[in-house]
Amino acid sequence: MGLKDAVLTDLSAPEDLSLEASLAELEGIVRSLEEGELTLEESLKAFERGVSLIRRCNSLLDGAEQRIEILVGELPEDLAR
């Protein structure tokens, strides 16, 4: 999916994207802006989207704390917090 299409169609809300997906989309946006093939309006839209993706990633990084789950049984006492 070219960025042109992406800019025009509905994209996932940044809060729903995983870190990996956010980064991939962000990389795509940066490349498109650098290639300079977008119209002015598309550039501005892409830039806005890029900024919200960056914010999303940063909040994921800042809010990181260790989250552990166990599939079967109970977490050992020393790990459960």
Partner 1 sequence: MNRAFTVTELNQRIRDRLTSDLRLCDLWARGELSNVVNHRSGHRYFTLKDGESQIPCVLFRGNASRLDFDLADGQNVLVFGDVEFYRPQGRVQILVKAARLDVGLGEKHQELELLKERLAAEGLFDAGRKRPIPAHPACIGVVTSPDGAALRDVLRVLGACPARIVISPAVVQGDSAPASIASAISALQGIADVIIVGRGGGSAEDLSPFNSEVVARAIYQSAPPVVSAVGHETDVTVADFVADLRAPTPSAAAEMVRPDLERLGEALAGAEARMIRSLSASLDRRRARYLDLGRLLAGRRMMAIVSEERQSLDRMTDRLVSAEDRRMELFAARLEVAAGKLESLSPLSTLRRGYCIALADSGVIRRASDLAPGELFELVFAEGRLLCRSVKEMVDRS
**Residue 1 CB, nearest approach to partner 1 (Å):** 19
**Residue 46 CB, nearest approach to partner 1 (Å):** 8
Gap between the Cα atoms of 58 and 60, Å rounded:
5
Element (H, E) at 61: helix 40-62
The radius of gyration computed from the CA coordinates of the chain, to the nearest angstrom, equals 18
Give whichever of 10 and 41 is closer to partner 1, judged by the CB atom.
Answer: 41
**Residue 76 CB, nearest approach to partner 1 (Å):** 5
Q: Which residues bind partner 1 (CB under 8 A)?
A: 18-20, 23, 26-27, 29-30, 33-34, 36, 40, 43-44, 47, 50-51, 54, 57-58, 60-61, 63-73, 75-76, 78-79
One DSSP character per residue, 3-59 reads: HHHHHHS----GGGS-HHHHHHHHHHHHHHHHHT-S-HHHHHHHHHHHHHHHHHHHH
Give whichever of 1 and 68 is closer to partner 1, judged by the CB atom.
Answer: 68
